[in-house]
A and B are shown apart, each in its own frame.
Chain A
Amino acid sequence: MNKTTLTPEESLLLITKTIEETKKRFEENGHIIILWGVLMFTVFFSQYIFSLTGLYKKFDIIWTVILFPLGMIYTFIYIRKTVNKKNLPRTLLSRVIETMGWAMGLNLLILGFLFRQQLGDAMAPVFIILLALSMIVTGASIKFKPLFIGGLLLNLIGFCTFYLDRDYHGFSLMLGAVVGLIIPGILLNKARRKENV
């Protein structure tokens, strides 16, 4: 691969192809978004079931404390493995998304464990709104409309949750997980598979 007699058309085509190839190697397949959506849904659905069966106090904290940190550990390992496997360099965009993800995750964890009392009924809406912001930014950055729209809907669900009774906040979180994470994640995964066929 070192042809020196390129025509201007061939040169432009080569530049376009290389840029496309480079872009493809950075594409996220939605795996982590689906994982967090399912995790969120599972945690809040199980909380609802526990509350129905009267086991809420016994299992709620353990369930949440185990599942969310496990998700964080898995995400960390998955990202590191992908970066090493593909020899991915850190671009400005990947740095922004990565930093925002970690900062958002840590803030949500700190808010959930340390400021539950202070936030009171606002806990669930604040959680949803913060999550929505990260989805909107990620969707806009990777130029994937369903993720961006999912983020906007999640944002809307967050604000609507302020008007709901605390007993229904779990449903908002479950709905948010499906609308803002699981569906856009699946669509992203499908889109990437289609591109790679």
Chain B
Amino acid sequence: MFKELDPILHSQLRLSIVSTLMMVGEANFNFIKDTTKATSGNISIQIKKLHEAGYIKVKKSFKNNYPNTTISITSKGREAFENYVNDLKKYIQPGK
């Protein structure tokens, strides 16, 4: 009756990362860390999973001689997020 929620997005930190990226499109690692208030290690693991799923793009570069990781949402990621929200709505308001 109910569609299964996307397991990639149905995790607190991954959902938080993707929600942030839905707002800004592209952000560096520190911005995501400050917004989600999670640890660097945990964020790295979840970013890897989202990247493997094709939901985000990761670009590593240097900024003022420091490593700078930029993460952006892909069109597949946007679509997955939109579907996830629509599925959530069906769970919450089954009649609609």
Instruction: Specify which chain B residues have a CB less than 8 angstroms from the CB of A15 in the assembled complex.
Output: 15, 19, 85
- List residues 49-104 of chain A with CB under 8 A from any CB of chain B: 86-92
Within 8 A of B (CB), among A1-27: 1-4, 6, 8-9, 11-12, 14-15, 18-19, 21-23, 25
A87 touches B12 (CB 8 A): no
Task: Choose among B5, B11, B19, B31 the residue that contacts A87 (Cβ–Cβ < 8 A).
Answer: B31
Q: Once the chains are docked, how many angstroms separate the CA of A26 from the CA of B78?
A: 21
Contacts of B30 in A (CB 8 A): 87
In B54-72, the 8 Å CB interface with A consists of none
In the complex, A22 Cα to B19 Cα: how many Å? 9
Question: How far apart sit A1 and B5, CA to CA, in the bound complex (Å)?
Answer: 19
Whether the Cβ atoms of A14 and B88 lie closer than 8 Å is no
Complex Cα distance, B15 from A6, in Å, reads: 10
Interface residue total, chain A, C-beta cutoff 8 A: 24
Q: A22-B20, A86-B31, A89-B26 are in contact. Are A1 and B10 (CB under 8 A)?
A: no
A11 to B13, CA, bound (A): 11
Q: Name A1's contact: one of B24, B34, B42, B84 (CB within 8 Å).
A: B42
Please determine whether B92 and A4 come into contact, CB atoms closer than 8 angstroms: no
B10 touches A89 (CB 8 A): no
Q: Complex formed: what's the CA distance from A25 to B32 in Å? A: 11
Residue of B nearest to A92 (CB): B25
User: What is the 8 Å Cβ interface bit string for chain A, positions 17-55, against chain B (1 contact, 0 not)?
Assistant: 011011101000000000000000000000000000000
Chain B min CB distance to A18 (Å): 4
- Name the CB-closest residue of A to B91: A8
Shortest distance between the CB of A130 and any CB in chain B (Å) = 30
Bound-state Cα–Cα, A4 to B15, Å: 10
A-B contact pairs, 26 of them (CB 8 A): A1-B12, A1-B13, A2-B11, A2-B13, A2-B46, A3-B11, A4-B10, A6-B12, A8-B5, A9-B92, A11-B84, A12-B92, A14-B19, A15-B19, A15-B85, A18-B19, A18-B20, A18-B35, A19-B19, A25-B35, A86-B31, A87-B27, A88-B31, A89-B28, A90-B26, A91-B23
12 more A-B residue pairs beyond the given contacts A2-B12, A8-B88, A11-B10, with a C-beta to C-beta distance below 8 A? A1-B16, A1-B42, A2-B42, A6-B12, A9-B92, A11-B88, A12-B88, A18-B23, A19-B22, A22-B35, A87-B27, A87-B28
